[in-house]
Amino acid sequence: MLEDLEPWPDHPESGETCAPTTFWASPDTMELPATVCTTLTVRVEARRIGGRIERIAHLGDGFTTVVGAGDGETGEVTLTGCLVWDRYLWIDYRTIPEGSVRITRRGHLVQREVLTPTRHEGWFSVDYSGPVEYRPAGQVERGFGIRWNALTVELGRIPGHQIA
């Protein structure tokens, strides 16, 4: 599960449980390294909310995630990608995803960064290049910038049902 870099007070550590509002990201919509992707067969339903259709995936044990709005596949669907914890999901969707996860490991998605000095001393413009890669927490090399926190999680009470 990807987590943005904003400084939220609900920054769960390994072993802790949280109830994130999530959407499903796939490699064709985001640059995702294979190490953070998983493939799941899930049930997707369409809900009419606020005058539009939102599609919700049921991942198991009461955990749901938004997979998009409008027309799209419903019923039994195979998804490849990962969860993205979006604390502002309510801006784009009216559906509130349900369920909890237990964090089993923290890491980061990183990318090579080039720091270009600005005319303000100590300030830099950051440009990223190259592929996005996974690094375990605490193992980010010099010259790389963190783009996302990457959490391995267990859904609800399903031991071993882990999603990166």
131 and 85 within one domain: no
132 and 74 within one domain: no
145 and 66 within one domain: no
125 and 144 within one domain: yes
Q: Which domain holds residue 122?
A: 106-149
Q: Residues 44-77: pLDDT tens digits?
A: 999 999 899 999 999 988 999 999 988 889 999 9
pTM of the model: 0.86
121 and 44 within one domain: no
110 and 97 within one domain: no
68 and 18 within one domain: yes
CB 151 within 8 A of CB 105: yes
Q: Residues 16-31: pLDDT tens digits?
A: 888 899 999 999 999 9
